[in-house]
Amino acid sequence: MSARSIPEATVGRLPVYLRALVEMAENGASTTSSEERAAAAGVNSAKVRKDLSHLGSYGTRGVGYDVAYLIHQVRRELGLTQDWPIVIVGVGNLGHALANYRGFAERGFRTAALVDAEPAKVGEVVGGLPIRPVDDLPEIVRANPGAMGVICTPASEAQKVADLLVASGVRSILNFAPVVLQAPPGVSVRKVDLAVELQILAFYEQRNAALADVKRRGRAVADLARV
């Protein structure tokens, strides 16, 4: 089947497949099976096949997928045939790290500008780019069509910054501030909350500990019974 409206769950996995495919290509492989892809992405092979089938029929029955061609198709589908400009707003701890992060450039993103509300920071050069004032945002976005906003401010400033980004024409926002942003329809917002991830882990850690506890007690009881 040809494309049309790829499921959200699939969109979320395509980047993961892509990276594994690129790594595989670098190692010189030219063909791969869904089974192999599944192992590399930590999912099962039926999922890989169904996901890839949403892009079109790019596999060969009995053989597998052509790595280079599949990379091309996934890139095209994700809109990674062009480099996207990103604007980092808030150059504190995290913004600093992201400005220096080489992984963005390697995977299709170009840091176009750094912005901070703090006048004292303006002008400072981080990762080869000067920090600019917040007022420059409309101009920055105009000069970088399709620019995506990356919010690294404290929670208290994040909504204001988001509004500013939207007013400047940004339609995609990646939010690292620990707050739920409101945005008008047509604007995509994704959130990464580091503490939330740890809290989710805490839930399972606690549950596993409790489980281990039950097992231990169970064994104790069994031991008693054995006497």
Partner DNA sequence: CAGTGTGAACCTTTTCACAGCA
Partner DNA sequence: TGCTGTGAAAAGGTTCACACTG
Residue 35 and residue 99 in contact, taking contact as beta carbons nearer than 8 Å: no
CB of 174 to DNA, least distance (A): 20
**Interatomic CA distance for residues 224 and 227, integer angstroms:** 5
Indicate the residue among 67 and 111 with the shorter CB distance to its own copies: 111
**Interatomic CA distance for residues 197 and 200, integer angstroms:** 5
Strands 129-133 and 125-126: antiparallel
Q: Is 152 exposed, middle or buried (0-12, 13-18, 19+ CB in 10 A)?
A: buried
- Please give the residues from 97 up to 116 whose contact with its own copies meets the rule CB under 8 A: 97-98, 100-101, 103-104, 106-109
Region near its own copies per CB under 8 A, out of 53-61, 95-103, 117-125, 133-141 = 95-103
- Please give the residues from 24 up to 53 whose contact with its own copies meets the rule CB under 8 A: 40-42
Residue 47's binding partner among DNA, its own copies, none (Cβ under 5 to 8 angstroms by kind) is DNA
> Which pair of tokens denotes residue 47?
């999922």
Q: Is 43 in the site for DNA (CB under 7 A)?
A: yes
Binding residues (CB under 7 A) for DNA: these are 1, 7-10, 32-35, 43-47, 49-50, 52-53, 57-65
